[in-house]
Amino acid sequence: MFYNELLLFNASAAHIRYASNFAVEKIADLIQAKGTTPQEAIIRAKAVFGEESERANLFIHNLHTYFGTEIIQKVYVYIANKALLKVKMELNSYDQVLGMMQQVYSSALSESELKALQQIAQANLYKIALIR
Q: pLDDT per residue over 21-47, tens digit each?
A: 899 999 999 999 999 999 999 999 999
**Residue pLDDT, tens place only, 48-94:** 998 888 889 999 999 999 999 999 999 999 999 999 999 999 999 99
Q: Kindly report the pTM of this predicted structure.
A: 0.82
Are the C-beta atoms of residues 23 and 59 closer than 8 Å to each other?
yes
- Residue 65 in contact with residue 131, Cβ under 8 Å? yes
